[in-house]
Amino acid sequence: MLRYALRRLLGVIPTLFAIITLSFFVIRIAPGGPFDDEQTLPPEIKANLEAAYGLDQPLHVQYGRYLAGLVRGDFGPSFKFKDFSVTELIAQGLPISLTLGLSAILVALLIGVPLGSLAALRQNRPTDHSIMAVAVLGIALPSFVVGPLLALTFGLHLRWLPVAGWESGQWRYLVLPVITLALPVIAYIARLTRGSLLEVLRSNFVRTARSKGLSERAILWRHALRPAMLPVVSYLGPATAFVITGSLVVETVFGLPGSGRYLVQGAINRDYTLVMGMIVVYGSVTLLFNLIADLLYGWLDPRVRYD
């Protein structure tokens, strides 16, 4: 297992390097610059600003300097948020996005797996049809529709939960955003669990367990559930990364100061270092959770480690 983990980890490094390299040159080649919208600046001052940030140097020199800074853990200064470095901006927003995303994934697992298992055990019965119908609805409704509906119902009408804002340590501000993010993931996990569990329950080793007189509960917990989780684990890697990095809409709807806004603002303002910092962080998060999913997959199915 250790050799398998090291092999997967070594495969992450060149992938992250390729993401950084491609993103750096694509951003710099795109038309416009961080100081182009400041029309009142005289050309001399604009040239001095570009020289101060190293933007007057050749691209390969800028690229080398940026890589050297990354090795030291320095994402560089922000061109627009002049009182903050990119590291400080990411440190402000990323913990909120991580809390929101990981909470949504946890809720999705705790609800989606039992619902999918129940649907599989009640195949073609009203329970199965009801769960799958709700799952399809959860997939079809986008978060920018679900979020306002939840805010109107539980925030404005019932007044149970706050509609927007953020206070550290106050879980009430996370309930509605987490539910909004978790609903489509719950639906996907329920469908994947149902389909995989139905296939496992029809397999030969389950028939053998039944012939030995094991109860359905024992078969489910001891033999069927673990192999049935393989498609769910494969989905969880990219899903977790997507929920954490793609929560901009939910953060905007509920007024959460997460990190997603910095990527959009940086792209609009041509804030090269801020965009690159967000890409590096989001790329690292995506690769990390995909790596964790690969390791879990190898633990659930040891045959993967010997391919």
Phi, psi of 77 (to 5 degrees): -85, 155
User: Phi-psi category of 142—alpha, beta or left, where left has phi over 0 and alpha has psi -120 to 50?
Assistant: beta
Q: Return per-residue pLDDT of the chain as tens, 307 residues.
A: 667 667 777 778 888 889 899 988 888 777 766 666 655 667 777 677 667 777 778 888 888 888 888 888 888 888 777 778 888 888 888 888 888 889 999 999 999 999 999 998 888 899 989 989 988 888 888 887 888 888 888 888 888 888 877 777 678 888 889 999 999 999 999 999 999 988 888 888 778 877 877 777 777 777 788 888 888 888 888 888 888 876 778 888 888 888 877 777 787 778 888 888 888 888 888 888 888 877 777 777 666 554 5
CB atoms within 10 A of CB 23: 17
Residue 291: which H helix or E strand, with range? helix 272-300
Distance (Å, rounded) from C-alpha 17 to C-alpha 38? 33
Provide the residue type at 275 as one letter.
Answer: V
Given this model, what pLDDT does residue 40 score?
63
Burial class (CB in 10 A: 0-12, 13-18, 19+), 158: exposed
Alpha carbon distances (Å) from 22 to 28, 40, 62, 276, 280 = 10, 33, 14, 11, 11
**pTM of the prediction?**
0.81
- Angstrom distance (rounded) from CA 63 to CA 266: 18
**Tokens 């001052």 correspond to what residue?**
45
Q: What's the confidence (pLDDT) of residue 39? A: 57
In 3-state terms, what secondary structure has residue 38? Answer: coil
DSSP 123: T
Task: Specify the 3-state DSSP secondary structure of 75.
Answer: coil
Question: What's the CA gap between 74 and 79, in Å, rounded?
Answer: 15
List C-alpha distances in Å: 16 to 172, 264, 278, 303: 36, 21, 13, 27
Residue type, 70: L
Burial label for 51, CB within 10 Å (0-12, 13-18, 19+), is exposed
**b/e code 279-289 from CB counts within 10 Å (16+ = b):** bbbbbebbbeb
CA-nearest of 299, 296, 302, 286 to 12 is 286
| Predicted local distance difference test score (pLDDT) of residue 56 | 74
Tokens of 36: 């182009």
Fold of 89-255: MetI-like fold (1.10.3720)
Residue 57 — left, alpha, or beta (φ > 0 → left; ψ -120 to 50 → alpha)?
beta
How many other CB atoms are found less than 10 A from the CB of residue 7?
11
Rounded Cα distance, 58 and 81, in Å = 24
Backbone torsions φ then ψ of 123, nearest 5 degrees: -55, 135
Judge contact between 109 and 187, C-beta under 8 A.
no
